């Protein structure tokens, strides 16, 4: 039994909510419980998705902050105390406020999944859940400035040949300046590095086996994808669906998770 509880104040884009439902059904199975919590305005914007996906809307009270989060958390705990209880609870939000709820659900033997827009999920939330599903557009890396080629030396056309006169002033020949060497390749910031660049630099990762993190990082340094001062866990943490680190504290191994066929 799988329950999908949606924080519609956070996961509030109709297209991304539709994608979230499709991903959950494809990867986890049928959604037995489908509920959305949020302000009346946010719920109204999602009416068509609710109708198409048979999602029950629960407007929160027009009070201060966190009323939606608390309403969702109360219902989640009520569900796991029922018989039968859901074996999996998916929370439609990337908000770290739900981490205490995630901890309690796991204590009840429930597997907890985070479903969030890529731009809204927090690092603390990703670490707490058993699985993270990200929806929404993938940001394209910004173009890297290319170093322009050195300018060619100007061509000086020779004039008509004349005989040198003994009384003519001596003309000194000026040698053309040496061409400047092209600048060294700049190191890409972590935010601009893509999964494809990492796999191209370290092809061994494509096999999906655990690799020594130090060796992978060394190669990324050599390929100018990671600076000496940059954090490798932060780099791989940007792609939780594609890379896994172990152990979670002070990791020393990394592996690539191929997308499902």
Structure tokens belonging to residue 140 = 């394209």
| pLDDT at residue 183 tops 70 | no
Examine the pLDDT at 137 and tell me if it is beyond 90. Answer: no
User: Average pLDDT, whole number, for the chain?
Assistant: 84
Residue 13 sits at φ, ψ, to 5 deg, of -100, 125
pLDDT in tens, 192-220: 889 888 999 898 888 888 898 888 888 88
Selection from 70, 68, 90, 76 nearest residue 10 by Cα: 68
Res. 92: pLDDT tops 60:
yes
C-alpha distances in Å from residue 166, one per residue of 1, 9, 163, 174, 261 = 106, 92, 10, 21, 86
pLDDT band at 167 (very low <50, low <70, confident <90, very high): low
Q: Is the pLDDT of residue 89 over 80?
A: yes
What is the reported pTM? 0.54
Question: What CATH number does domain 2-135 carry, 3.40.190.10, 3.40.50.800, 3.20.20.30, 3.40.50.1010?
Answer: 3.40.50.1010
108 closest CA partner among 132, 133, 78, 131: 78
Q: Quick check: 149 pLDDT over 60?
A: yes
The yes-or-no verdict on residue 40 having pLDDT over 70 is yes
């Amino acid at each position: 039994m799988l329950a999908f509880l949606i924080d519609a104040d956070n996961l509030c884009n109709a297209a991304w909510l539709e994608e979230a439902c499709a991903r959950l059904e494809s990867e986890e199975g049928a959604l037995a419980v489908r509920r959305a919590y949020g302000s009346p305005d946010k719920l109204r914007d999602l009416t068509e998705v609710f109708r198409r996906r048979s999602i029950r809307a629960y407007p929160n009270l027009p009070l201060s902050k966190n009323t939606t989060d608390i309403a969702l958390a109360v219902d989640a705990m009520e569900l796991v105390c029922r018989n039968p209880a859901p074996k999996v609870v998916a929370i439609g939000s990337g908000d770290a406020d739900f981490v205490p709820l995630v901890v309690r659900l796991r204590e009840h033997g429930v597997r907890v999944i985070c479903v969030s827009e890529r731009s809204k999920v927090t690092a603390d939330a990703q670490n707490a859940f058993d699985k993270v599903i990200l929806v929404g557009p993938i940001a394209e890396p910004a173009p890297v400035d290319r170093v322009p080629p050195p300018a060619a030396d100007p061509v000086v056309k020779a004039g008509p040949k004349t005989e040198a006169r003994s009384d003519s002033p001596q003309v000194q020949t000026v040698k053309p300046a040496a061409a400047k060497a092209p600048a060294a390749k700049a190191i890409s910031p972590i935010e601009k590095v893509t999964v494809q660049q990492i796999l191209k630099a370290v092809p061994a990762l494509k096999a999906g086996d655990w690799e020594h993190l130090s060796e992978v990082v060394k190669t990324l340094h050599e390929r100018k994808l990671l600076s000496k001062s940059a954090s490798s866990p932060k780099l791989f943490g940007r792609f939780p669906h594609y890379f896994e680190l172990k152990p979670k504290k002070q990791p020393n191994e990394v592996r690539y998770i191929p997308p499902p066929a």
